[in-house]
């Protein structure tokens, strides 16, 4: 089901683009974009649409419904929607001026998950003049599909989304106690000083004062990975240095870096590097 009441003023901008074979290989690209001055009864409602949608309000206000959450889109607010699920957005009985960009690409879904690990929310943009300039440049280049323009656009989209991620994390840290970030730093220090030993989640949180469940969620949000994966990657990085700079056996390196046994070390190393430790060492001899 799709319902469209896209009542916009004549000075609104609307661009569409058909991706080239090169564009389809890029991390990010635009399929459609616009700068709308929507009238009071503007409304879009869809069960699904094959893209992600970035909405940014300049003036007026609208309402965005996504993931069963209703959000107020006020001036200098941005929101990203996974359009593969039910969503709608509409003006709040007044003219609503906003920039919108439909995004696709191999990295869009992953970036969306970084932006919203739990639920979709409104993002307040502090440096809104600079942000609006970025978006305006993007939508004006939608119809350019030469190689350089396509690559440049992909890079610009990444910059825009990266800016939103930074704002999101900064806002989260302000709303939480500063101690939470300090707690994660305590755990990181603990891992780096004790990686050669057997370490459990309980060991990691012994010197901080949050629950195991909350710690795992908080660690993933701040570090972008789970505590266990961080520990494993740290051990693998240490093993790489030993493989390159010493003549120690695989068994010795495995033990020194805290792996359960040689078999586990080889398995984890290959899983994370697509190489066996012996093959990695051979590349540097």
Sequence length of the chain is: 285
Domain boundaries, the chain: 2-175, 179-283
Distance (Å, whole) CA 109 – CA 105: 8
Residue 178: per-residue pLDDT: 54
Residue 1: per-residue pLDDT: 46
Give the mean model confidence (pLDDT) for residues 261-273.
94
Residue 51: per-residue pLDDT: 96
Contacts of 180 (CB under 8 A, 6+ apart): 173, 210, 218
- Residue 148: pLDDT over 50: yes
- Tell me what the pLDDT averaged over the chain comes to: 90
- Residue 179: pLDDT over 80: no
| Residue found by looking up tokens 């060492």 in the block | 281
Selected from 3.30.1340.30, 2.60.120.280, 2.40.100.20, 3.40.50.11810, the CATH number assigned to the domain covering 2-175 reads 2.60.120.280
What CATH number belongs to 179-283? 1.10.10.60
Give the mean model confidence (pLDDT) for residues 156-168.
93
pLDDT above 90: percentage of residues in the chain = 71
- The answer to whether 39 and 9 are in contact (CB under 8 A) is yes
Segment 77-104, tens digit of pLDDT: 999 999 999 999 999 988 999 999 999 9
H helices of the chain, where?
108-115, 128-140, 147-175, 179-194, 201-204, 212-223, 227-245, 250-256, 262-273, 277-283
Does 176 or 126 have the greater pLDDT score? 126
Query: What Cα–Cα distance (Å) separates residue 228 from each residue in 20, 105, 183, 225?
Result: 41, 29, 16, 8
Residue 174: per-residue pLDDT: 65
- The answer to whether 163 and 138 are in contact (CB under 8 A) is no
Give the mean model confidence (pLDDT) for residues 46-50.
93
- Residue 66: pLDDT over 50: yes
Mark 182-201 as b/e (b = at least 16 C-beta within 10 Å): ebbebbbebbeeebeeebeb
């Amino acid at each position: 089901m799709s319902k469209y009441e896209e009542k916009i003023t004549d000075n609104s901008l609307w661009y569409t683009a058909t991706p080239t074979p090169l564009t389809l290989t890029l991390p990010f690209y635009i399929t459609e974009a616009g700068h709308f001055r929507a009238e009071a009864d503007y409304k879009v409602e869809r069960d699904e649409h094959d893209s992600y949608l970035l909405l940014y309000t300049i003036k007026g206000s609208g309402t965005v419904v996504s993931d069963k959450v209703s959000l107020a889109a006020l001036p200098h607010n941005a929101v990203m929607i996974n359009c593969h699920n039910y969503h709608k957005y509409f003006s709040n009985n007044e003219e609503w001026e906003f920039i919108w960009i439909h995004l696709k690409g191999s990295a869009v879904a992953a970036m969306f998950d970084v932006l919203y690990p739990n639920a979709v929310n409104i993002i307040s943009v502090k440096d809104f003049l600079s942000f609006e300039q970025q978006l305006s440049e993007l939508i004006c280049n939608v119809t350019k599909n030469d190689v350089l323009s396509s690559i440049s656009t992909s890079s610009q989209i990444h910059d825009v989304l990266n800016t939103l991620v930074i704002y999101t994390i900064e806002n989260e840290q302000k709303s939480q106690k500063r101690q939470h970030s300090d707690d994660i730093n305590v755990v990181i220090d603990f891992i780096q000083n004790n990686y050669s030993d057997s370490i459990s989640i309980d060991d990691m949180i012994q010197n901080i004062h949050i629950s195991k469940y909350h710690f795992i969620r908080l660690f993933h949000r701040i570090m972008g990975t789970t505590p266990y994966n961080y520990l494993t990657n740290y051990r693998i990085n240490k093993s790489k240095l030993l493989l390159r700079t010493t003549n120690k056996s695989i068994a010795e390196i495995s033990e020194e870096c805290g792996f359960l046994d040689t078999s586990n070390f080889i398995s984890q190393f290959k899983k994370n590097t697509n190489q066996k430790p012996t093959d990695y060492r051979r590349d540097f001899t």
